[in-house]
């Protein structure tokens, strides 16, 4: 069963910071010139990490996780509000006589910035309990190597077909690039302090690889320097791949130590609805 009474003090505050980061990223593009991938650019990884973390803490077994009641609650809380906002967006844009493309809505996963996230979440909701099962069954080093192998193979599978027109859109809506982030969220509650320091070291390496992927002139050098110079990951979504995923534990290490004011906790509790509101508001700028 899921014990929803287990409450982790830092989680709501961290989600409040993350949702503010989403709003800043979507409203102030100039922040992309401030090393954004090392701070506000980690909002989605932080949200996915926390999602996996909470399941890892609360889940008793896979059997008790996948129940009809829990699935229905998830849809009611997460998916139904998204659909309602999407219907409202379509209605408002239609009344404003704006050109709407059903194909574009399907391709993007919705309307507005971040509309892809709901599809990442729904798939992650299914994947996370199996990752929790894995980290409970085998040693940390073994589970980490298994998930690294799965992530590497999954991302590499997109390389030969990345130039096909729709493949990038499919990749965008899938959580493949975040598999290691989900794994880290699952394993984090089970780690001892000494083990966490190993992952902090890996976070430093990931920080350097983010520098390589996003900010160097000849970016993606790491991703293109193996297998005789062939790519090991798709050439899009630079900075969000299996080898940069460890960086998420750096902001998490900070966020779980902060003492949050109530306003941050409240923002965290309602972060999904705030997210939908920003998606609703910012979508209109795309049609102005």
Residue-level pLDDT at 236 = 87
Kindly report the average pLDDT of the chain as a whole number: 90
pLDDT of residue 278: 93
pLDDT band at 185 (very low <50, low <70, confident <90, very high): very high
Q: At CB < 8 A and 24+ separation, what contacts does 131-137 make?
A: 131/52, 131/182, 131/183, 131/186, 132/52, 132/55, 132/56, 132/59, 132/186, 133/62, 134/186, 135/56, 135/183, 135/186, 135/187, 135/190, 136/190
Mean pLDDT of 145-165: 94
What interhelical angle do 179-187 and 43-58 show, nearest 10? 40
The answer to whether residue 232 scores a pLDDT higher than 60 is yes
Mean local confidence (pLDDT), 247-268: 95
Using 50, 70 and 90 to split pLDDT, how confident is the model at 2? Answer: very low
Mean pLDDT (whole number) for 74-87: 96
Q: Are 174 and 151 in contact (CB under 8 A)?
A: no
Check whether 219 has a pLDDT greater than 70.
no
CB 254 within 8 A of CB 174: no
Q: How far apart are CA 141 and CA 158, in angstroms?
A: 26
pTM: 0.93
pLDDT digits (tens, 9 = 90+) for 103-139: 889 999 999 899 999 999 999 999 999 999 999 999 9
Q: How far apart are CA 132 and CA 2, in angstroms?
A: 13
- The pLDDT value recorded for residue 1 is 40
Burial class (CB in 10 A: 0-12, 13-18, 19+), 233: buried
């Amino acid at each position: 069963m899921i014990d929803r009474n287990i409450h982790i003090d830092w989680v709501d505050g961290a989600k409040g910071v993350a949702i503010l980061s989403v709003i800043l990223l979507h409203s102030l593009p100039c922040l992309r010139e401030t090393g954004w991938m090392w701070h506000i650019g980690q909002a989605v990884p932080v949200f996915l990490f926390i999602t996996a973390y909470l399941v890892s803490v609360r889940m008793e077994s896979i059997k008790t996780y996948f129940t009809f009641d829990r699935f229905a609650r998830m849809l009611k809380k997460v998916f139904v509000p998204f659909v309602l906002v999407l219907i409202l967006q379509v209605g408002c844009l239609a009344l404003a006589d704006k050109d709407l493309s059903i194909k574009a809505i399907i391709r993007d996963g919705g309307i507005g910035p971040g509309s892809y996230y709901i599809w990442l979440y729904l798939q992650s909701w299914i994947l996370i309990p199996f990752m929790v099962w894995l980290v409970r069954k085998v040693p940390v080093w073994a589970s980490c190597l298994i998930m690294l192998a799965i992530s590497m193979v999954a991302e590499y599978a997109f390389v030969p077909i990345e130039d096909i027109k729709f493949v990038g859109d499919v990749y965008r809506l899938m959580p493949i690039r975040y598999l290691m982030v989900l794994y880290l969220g699952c394993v984090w509650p089970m780690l001892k302090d000494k083990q966490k320091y190993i992952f902090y070291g890996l976070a430093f390496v990931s920080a350097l690889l983010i520098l390589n992927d996003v900010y160097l002139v000849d970016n993606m050098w790491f991703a293109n320097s193996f297998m005789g110079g062939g790519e090991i990951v798709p050439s899009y979504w630079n900075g969000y791949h299996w080898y940069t995923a460890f960086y998420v534990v750096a902001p998490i290490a900070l966020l779980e130590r902060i003492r949050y004011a109530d306003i941050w906790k409240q923002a965290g509790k309602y972060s999904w609805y705030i997210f939908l509101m920003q998606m609703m508001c910012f979508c209109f700028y795309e049609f102005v």
